[in-house]
Amino acid sequence: MGTEIRPSGGLELGYARVSTTKQNLERQLDSLVEAGIPDKQIYVDKKSGATVDRPGLTDLLAFARPGDTIVVHTLDRLGRNLREVLNLVHDLNDQRIGVRSLADPLPINTAEEGMARIAFLLLALFAEMERTFTAERAAHARAVAEAAGRRIGRPVAHPTDKIEYARSLRQQGSSLGEITTKTGIPKSSLHRYLAAPRPGERTNGTL
């Protein structure tokens, strides 16, 4: 793919990617061809979600030169998350390589001035806002759960009465092995349960 014969205004280079074996490239490829991108200037990655290597994108970035524009169906094809996409577009901008999307709600062309560039900046702003909102929602959920007396974190894997029985055995001098035999609680969990304070008990042992 690609050609060394470059017009003075730069090349438009297409890129298409699917992240699962159940997806197909036809829709993306059709939109790139309709946009006037020759087949030989279209780079493709079709990998499973567990595969991080993207040789098509690697080849495309190695071939692209200042003045070229990378064209995608939607901007998310350039990365696995919005931060990765934004970082790549910024890096390309520094190299004077534009990025154009065809089917985003606000189609973007970073080589243009005006509204297209504003749209890209808004995407970056929305990404930062979403990270903030996600952190705030998680903190609020923790606060509500704690106020309601619910346990935060990994759930207890064994019944409370069995844990109390284990504590009683420990106070009577039983070894961890003996307690495991009588309660069925593995030693790895016993260490955690025996070290944790009882409900309503302060960590210093006073009520």
Out of 19, 31, 175, 189, which one is annotated catalytic? 19
Contact present, 124 and 115 (Cβ < 8 Å): no
Catalytic residue check, 188: no
Question: Which residue carries 């929602």 as its tokens?
Answer: 137
Contact present, 57 and 17 (Cβ < 8 Å): yes
Residue numbers annotated as active site: 19
